Chains A and B, each alone.
Chain A
Amino acid sequence: MRMTVGDPAGRRTDSATVVQRYSRSSRWYHAAVYLAVLALLGTGWWLITGREGQPSALSRLAGASDATLHTYTGWALAILTALGVTIGYRATSTFIRESIRYDRGDLRWFVRWPVALFTGRFARHEGHFDPGQRIANLLLVTLLAVLVGSGAGLAVVAGGPSFVWLQRIHTWATYLITPVLVGHILIAIGVLPGYRGVARSMHLGGRLPAEVARRVWPGWLERHGDQQ
């Protein structure tokens, strides 16, 4: 659905036009996943940095130890993952397909990206996701799968040699995913001028100003804007 507001002369302007990039169910799923991931990241780093046994603010709020909270939230993320690949199979397929696409010109997008972060003058690309976002998506999905798998293993395998290996894998996947998540959050909240306004695609009804979509996802806007 595209909602438009005409100017007095009857012309549609980008600043007044909004586009819907994600369905309500996608936005709620994304929110559930990131709330779980943020809780896991917080409690996980609390434990990694040796503060286990000292209840964090979240632990005091929940009335459970950080280790328990981490385990239960991990199971919640595992359930969300299972729902994503079963009930959300079609959306997941589209997400994966759009994340592994490669078009001519994508390399040029990367060359211009460091400057475009601040100017907003990204090179054109044709994807649903921009080329950097595609790499971040694949890294996030892979590392989250490793974390969910190894986390489930740590919860079930109570100790011993298998536990030792699972814990190493879990810890290293945490080290690797943290900067990717921090980068994703920095971009998503619009701190960087080039990405200002993108948070609306996933929040507050998901209505994104068309000028933001044109700046960040021009090919997608042209294809889908006309269909809406």
Chain B
Amino acid sequence: MLALGLVLTACGTADAGDAGGSLSVSVAEPESGTTVTVPFTVEIDSSVPLGPSESGLHHVHVWFDGQENDYLIVESETVDITELATGAHTMHVSLRNANHSAAGAETEIPITVGDAGGGGGATSDAPDPTSDAPDLPPPGY
């Protein structure tokens, strides 16, 4: 058992698909502070290729408003968010190893979901930091 652990530890990180440099992840779309209407597409910029867990590649977990256990798995550069309550949200994006452990790169951006009838599309409408966010129901994405 101990021997198995040592062998696995020895080959662990070198086998993780990390190119050796520091990992990074960011949100290309929507921009921070944007007002969007559901559905909208999130475009992710990652320093490593993304893919399904079965491929051994990294992937990304996306969740909203601190609900870290309730997340979307993103295995490519884009994901569609089809359900999210109207109002202000914080979108968290975390780069994950194939085994779902945190890879050490994450980011978060504020976004606001506007009414569907409000014209649609994303607008660079930075929220007023002094305004109170309304009480929101849990996001249902």
Residues of the B chain whose Cβ atoms lie less than 8 Å from the Cβ of A158:
12-13, 15-16, 97-99, 101, 103
What's the least CB distance linking B22 to chain A, in Å?
A: 15
Q: Please, how many residues of chain B have a CB less than 8 angstroms from a CB on the other chain?
A: 31
Q: Are B69 and A159 in contact (CB under 8 A)?
A: no
Q: Are A153 and B8 in contact (CB under 8 A)?
A: yes
Decide yes or no whether B131 CB sits under 8 A from chain A: no
Q: Are A164 and B99 in contact (CB under 8 A)?
A: no
Of the stretches A63-71, A182-190, A200-208, the one at the interface is A63-71
Residues of the B chain whose Cβ atoms lie less than 8 Å from the Cβ of A10:
none
What mask results when residues 97 to 108 of chain B are scored 1 for a CB within 8 Å of chain A, else 0?
111110100000
Decide yes or no whether A178 CB sits under 8 A from chain B: no
Residues of the B chain whose Cβ atoms lie less than 8 Å from the Cβ of A106:
none
| In the bound complex, CA of A54 to CA of B67 (Å) | 11
Decide yes or no whether A14 CB sits under 8 A from chain B: no
What mask results when residues 7 to 24 of chain B are scored 1 for a CB within 8 Å of chain A, else 0?
011011101111000000
What's the least CB distance linking B29 to chain A, in Å?
A: 21
Decide yes or no whether A179 CB sits under 8 A from chain B: no
Decide yes or no whether A32 CB sits under 8 A from chain B: no
Q: Are A163 and B56 in contact (CB under 8 A)?
A: yes
Of the candidates A52, A155, A160, the one whose C-beta lies within 8 Å of that of B17 is A160
Given contacts A65-B71, A152-B8, contact A159 B1 (CB under 8 A): no
Decide yes or no whether B91 CB sits under 8 A from chain A: no
| In the bound complex, CA of A63 to CA of B70 (Å) | 10
Residues of the A chain whose Cβ atoms lie less than 8 Å from the Cβ of B56:
159-164, 167
Decide yes or no whether A136 CB sits under 8 A from chain B: no
Residues of the A chain whose Cβ atoms lie less than 8 Å from the Cβ of B11:
157, 162
DSSP majority for the A interface? helix
Residue of B nearest to A167 (CB): B54
Of the candidates A63, A65, A81, A157, the one whose C-beta lies within 8 Å of that of B99 is A157
Q: Are B68 and A164 in contact (CB under 8 A)?
A: no
Decide yes or no whether A4 CB sits under 8 A from chain B: no
Among A68, A153, A163, the most chain B Cβ lie within 10 Å of the Cβ of: A163
Q: Are B73 and A53 in contact (CB under 8 A)?
A: yes
Residues of the B chain whose Cβ atoms lie less than 8 Å from the Cβ of A60:
69
Q: Are A167 and B53 in contact (CB under 8 A)?
A: yes
What's the least CB distance linking B49 to chain A, in Å?
A: 11
Residues of the A chain whose Cβ atoms lie less than 8 Å from the Cβ of B16:
157-160, 163
| In the bound complex, CA of A81 to CA of B5 (Å) | 14
Decide yes or no whether A156 CB sits under 8 A from chain B: yes
Jot down 22 A-B pairs with beta carbons below 8 A, ordered by A.
Answer: A52-B73, A53-B72, A55-B70, A64-B69, A85-B1, A153-B4, A155-B99, A156-B9, A157-B11, A157-B12, A158-B12, A158-B103, A159-B17, A159-B56, A159-B98, A159-B99, A160-B16, A161-B15, A162-B11, A162-B56, A164-B56, A167-B56
13 extra interface residue pairs, beta carbon distance < 8 Å, beyond A54-B70, A156-B12, A167-B53: A53-B61, A53-B71, A65-B68, A65-B71, A67-B100, A149-B4, A156-B8, A159-B18, A159-B57, A160-B98, A163-B15, A164-B55, A167-B56
